[in-house]
Structure 1
Amino acid sequence: MSISVHKADTPPARRTIRIGLAWQIVIGMIIGILVGVTLSRHPDLRSAAIKDYIQPAGDLFIKLIKMVVVPIVFTSMVVGIAGVGDGKSLGRIGLKTIVYFEVVTTIAIVVGLLFGNLLQPGVGTDISQLGHADIAGIQHTATLAGEHHGFMHLVLGIIPENILASMARGDLLPVLFFSVLFGLALQSVPKDLRQPVVDMLRGVSDAMFKVTGIVMRYAPIGVAALIAVTVANFGFASLLPLMKLLGVAYLAIVAFTIVVLGVAARVFGFNIFTLLRIIRSELLIAFTTCSSATVLPQLMKKMEDYGAPKAITTFVIPTGYVFNLDGASVYLGIGTLFVAQLYGVHLGLQEQIVLVLTMVITSKGAAGVPGFMFVILLATLSSAGLPLEGLALIAGIDRFMDMGRTALNVVGNALAALVIARWEGQYDHQKGQAYLRQISDIEQPS
């Protein structure tokens, strides 16, 4: 007689649902928009809620990111340069970087003018709907920024009087300059003395990237707070009179990303949509915060993981944050033509060629000063003889415009690191493919 023992059925393992950072940020944006719309309908509650709770919650995220940017840039760049080999290699990388930046930003300006001419965002816009244009505040901001603008001021601004003071202020240009000099000097030190310094800085860099990972856990809350403040302060109603301008600007940004950057990526053996998938979390953060600096550490890390060497990512990406402003360049062309069309001023081919040259010259390095967009636009409008009041009319939606152009700046800088790496013959294809497989495995439902 046999006795059969039936074991209780083992319950199936519970499926763990993991929400990635990108989706967490999307959820944060949706919650922030809903909170902002609610507050915009209750003016009595809006001011206190924003001042006491929501704005500080958003500012906290910005400050946390800025806390790690300078240490990461300094340590990563020094370690990267120390591994380049010699100053000649760094000079070649720097020259290729500047040439690439110059070509791409010039094309971005032309694309902006092209969309402005074809779609004419200023035609049919009723100036009376835009309210009173107060140019005084705009001019004051631009004047303060313009006092420190110009080629020689840019050169002087690159060289720090006190590197610790520059680090404390978060000035990237002086930090980049000092990092390059320190890295080159470190190469000439005997290896037995150099290696401990490099190892220490590498350890600091790796630790700061871990800190960035901790900080990014707060990103969905910070993003929700920042987008709530934007929607509550401006509201969607303020967009209606300038919806055509906003639509043309975003259409140009998308077209530039897919066509221009897409072609550049294809020429160097990359796919722009793959890149967008890799940096989607960074794009959402940059879009919401209107700050490229908030994603600088993780952008450098991801491009290094994707196959670009540290020596290139740590040089190209921080430099691009100052000199490779694709989104701002597209916006310059569209914004200038919008003002001209708004006031019925016709700009011929010759005038627009002069505009391109003016924008190319004035935009280089302007991101190093506050209010740089006002400086460039005022200089451009003045050179074309256009009414300066037009700038004040579009200043009300500048925050919404800035969201799109900041995201495009991030895409352009990420691609630049890959392009220079491939151009130098230093791109690690196997490492890049392994990283893509790792991302695909993470994205698979568990």
Structure 2
Amino acid sequence: MDIHSDFEKPKKPQKFYQILYVQVIAAIVLGILLGHFYPDVGESLKPLGDAFIKLVKMIIAPVIFLTVVTGISGMKHMGSVGRVAGKAMLYFLTFSTLALIVGMIIANLIQPGKGLNIDPSTLHSDKISEYASKAHDASIVDFLMNILPTTLISPLTSGDILQVLFVAVLFGLSLAAVGERGKPVVEFLNHLTAPVFHLVGMLMKFAPIGAFGAMAFTIGKYGIDSIGNLLLLILTFYITSLLFILVILGAVAKFNGFSILHLIRYIKDELWLVLGTSSSEAALPSLMRKMEKAGCEKSVVGLVIPTGYSFNLDGTNIYMTMAALFIAQACNIDLSIQDQILLLLVAMISSKGAAGVTGAGFITLAATLSVVPAVPVAGMALILGIDRFMSECRALTNLVGNACATIVVARWDHALDQQQLDATLKRNNNVSMD
């Protein structure tokens, strides 16, 4: 059964103002203008952005569960699950580490914090203490234990991505193991998938409202002026992330038979949505669907993307090492090569320990600095005000990284329809969620 048949029916060409990404762009611009000229009104619109993200999170667990279960239950060889997971983790570890190294190299070359001459003893923030406390609680053991759900169905109500994935993999393997007796359940889940994905399309129609509210709140609360004194750090981070995508991920994409620019164009709806809401989770359901439509097998999509949302955070990793070195430079702390290597190693671990936690970028930075005594945790107060403006870039880079990872792992596992991928990525017309 084609679970996407609802979306494949011929339609009249959309007028430009009916295209999702055009609506989201317009909403972002209006949100910026409203937040800048009427900051109190803009700040009061926060519930619009929050409500949309809650709507999308409502559907994430069913989408992951159905995609993974139906994908795995259709596998002929159960060893494929472990093989795909192993290849995905190898990819994640390699490129997450590379992202940390890139952030560190660029921060040493540009030195965005040099010349600020901040006295670390003058820095204090209750908010920083709150993040440091969360970082202390987010150990590797706690993270791994949290993957184990309380009950079989509790992940579907709690919405924890890794718990949903854990249960879905086990249930999919069980269905495959019982063979013919499990077929009625598989058929039911396949039928259930169609209305669930249709619901995703319905929810995406509210994306412009969510983007408008979130952007109006951000500009209204923090103000465009607040980024002026730290503009070099923001520009350095954005340019570094862009180069990481175009050069490193671009080379990976070319080596694996596709263009990173074609991929970015293909997922532009999701990218604009992430930019507007500052949440990569808002695009997870539609990204999974698009990767399937691009020729990646359902089982690979279901395993790689949800796992990547916790383990393949390229943007977050670039941010971590760059922000840590910015704080050191701003406080005139000269880090030796040994200190920087220690920082890199700690960041590799802490980025996994706090993965999937709300505000993970800031929390993982706090976790890293708390272990590296040379850089004061209190220095995070320097970037607290602009973190919201940097979170968009983290989320965008993470999204592109996970889309790229899905295609690469699918190709490695011979689970990619190359002809379908070429036709889909090179198609000029927009693929909408209608």
Scaled by the length of structure 2, the TM-score of the pair is 0.92
Q: Is the 8 A contact 2:148 2:166 kept in 1?
A: yes
Counterpart of 2:126?
A: 136
SS in 2 for 1:344: coil
CA deviation profile, 1:393-430 (whole Å, cap 9, x unmatched) = 11111000101010100000001100001111121012
Aligned: 1:73 with 2:61: no
What CA distance in whole angstroms lies between the structure 1 residues aligned with 2:48 and 2:367?
A: 36
Aligned: 1:414 with 2:403: yes
SS in 1 for 2:415: coil
Q: Which of these residues, 158, 163, 168, is aligned with residue 147 of structure 2?
A: 158
Q: Is the 8 A contact 2:128 2:378 kept in 1?
A: no
- The total of aligned residue pairs comes to 417
Counterpart of 2:102?
A: 111
Q: Is the 8 A contact 2:263 2:425 kept in 1?
A: no
Q: Is the 8 A contact 1:355 1:384 kept in 2?
A: no
Counterpart of 2:90?
A: 99
Counterpart of 1:38?
A: 37
Q: Is the 8 A contact 1:113 1:333 kept in 2?
A: yes
Counterpart of 1:211?
A: 199
Counterpart of 1:304?
A: 292
Structure 1 residue 120: deviation in Å?
0.4
What CA distance in whole angstroms lies between the structure 2 residues aligned with 1:299 and 1:225?
A: 22
Aligned: 1:227 with 2:226: no
Structure 1 residue 223: deviation in Å?
0.5
Aligned: 1:23 with 2:22: yes
CA 188–56 in structure 1, closer or farther in 2 if over 3 Å, else same: same
Q: Is the 8 A contact 1:135 1:388 kept in 2?
A: no
What CA distance in whole angstroms lies between the structure 1 residues aligned with 2:55 and 2:238?
A: 29
What CA distance in whole angstroms lies between the structure 2 residues aligned with 1:310 and 1:59?
A: 30
What CA distance in whole angstroms lies between the structure 2 residues aligned with 1:350 and 1:73?
A: 42
Counterpart of 1:430?
A: 419
What CA distance in whole angstroms lies between the structure 1 residues aligned with 2:21 and 2:341?
A: 41
Structure 1 residue 365: deviation in Å?
4.3
What CA distance in whole angstroms lies between the structure 1 residues aligned with 2:155 and 2:272?
A: 29
CA 442–154 in structure 1, closer or farther in 2 if over 3 Å, else same: closer
What CA distance in whole angstroms lies between the structure 1 residues aligned with 2:196 and 2:222?
A: 36
Q: Which of these residues, 157, 168, 192, is aligned with residue 179 of structure 1?
A: 168
What CA distance in whole angstroms lies between the structure 1 residues aligned with 2:152 and 2:397?
A: 30
Q: Is the 8 A contact 2:287 2:403 kept in 1?
A: yes
Q: Which amino acid is 2:375 matched to?
A: L
Q: Is the 8 A contact 1:117 1:337 kept in 2?
A: yes
Q: Which amino acid is 2:273 matched to?
A: I
Q: Which runs of 5+ in 1 are unaligned?
A: 1-14, 41-45
Aligned: 1:84 with 2:72: no
Of structures 1 and 2, the larger Rg is shown by 1
Counterpart of 1:362?
A: 350
Counterpart of 1:121?
A: 112
Structure 1 residue 352: deviation in Å?
1.4
CA deviation profile, 1:296-349 (whole Å, cap 9, x unmatched) = 111011111111110100110000001111000000111010001001111122
Aligned: 1:291 with 2:266: no
CA deviation profile, 1:244-265 (whole Å, cap 9, x unmatched) = 1111111111111111111111
SS in 2 for 1:364: helix
Q: Which amino acid is 1:319 matched to?
A: T
SS in 1 for 2:38: helix
Q: Is the 8 A contact 1:86 1:187 kept in 2?
A: no
Instruction: Report % sequence identity.
Output: 39
Structure 1 residue 109: deviation in Å?
0.2
What CA distance in whole angstroms lies between the structure 1 residues aligned with 2:315 and 2:149?
A: 28
Q: Which runs of 5+ in 2 are unaligned?
A: 1-12
Counterpart of 2:9?
A: none
